Amino acid sequence: MNSAVVVFPGSNCDRDMMVALELVTGRRPVALWHAEAEVPAGLDLIALPGGFSHGDYLRAGAIAARARVMRAVIGHAARGGLVLGVCNGFQVLTEAGLLPGALMRNAGLDFICRDVALEVAAADTPFTRAYGAGAAITLPIAHHDGNFQADPETLDRLEREGLVAFRYAEAVNGSARDIAGILNAGRNVLGLMPHPERAVEEAHGNLDGRRLFEGLLGVLA
């Protein structure tokens, strides 16, 4: 699987994502600077990592969504290429219009950094195929603006079309309907707040995130 990780000023999980992808796929991802106009040919996956792109000025992910590279990311997704946005990457995807809704300030107005229990709500996607439907997993979160909100019609559509990928199994940040991750209509773009790249090896004390990457590898093998 050929992959790239977009690096914005203020990204701080890009190395974590690259290590996770290389660990599972055996291939080192390309580090893709935000000012690039094109992405390398032959990419299967583009990952947008967590962090605080451009210092979260204006809104989290708002400036990064307008970076030059995002036009190429949008084109990659339109061609059916896989796109994964984690934490700040999820925020960027909503700001870029690749996913609906918005990530608001946490309901308690606190930065939350801990492991959380999740339910896999949709297992028939490239990102979740290695989990069973309804699987209970645990992943770490670290965010201040992870409260997913959308209008009732959008929320109903996400539910009806099976585009809610992950759901919090406990009260976390005020997200509508406990949504932790969503997919686009083509199911080739995933945004989620928890960090699967921080749960991929024994040293992390948790391998639940590794299965996400293993599932992708299986799809593209």
Cross-strand pairs, 137: 118
The dihedrals phi and psi of 126, each to the nearest 5 degrees, come to -60, -30
Chain centroid to CA 110: 21
**Three-state secondary structure call for residue 39:** coil
The CA distance from 151 to 149, in Å, is 7
22: part of which helix (H) or strand (E)?
helix 14-25
Cross-strand pairs, 3: 45
163, 183 Cβ separation under 8 angstroms: yes
**Three-state secondary structure call for residue 76:** helix
Active site residues: 87, 195, 197
The CA distance from 26 to 23, in Å, is 6
193, 103 Cβ separation under 8 angstroms: yes
- β-strand 102-104 against 147-149: which pairing, if any? antiparallel
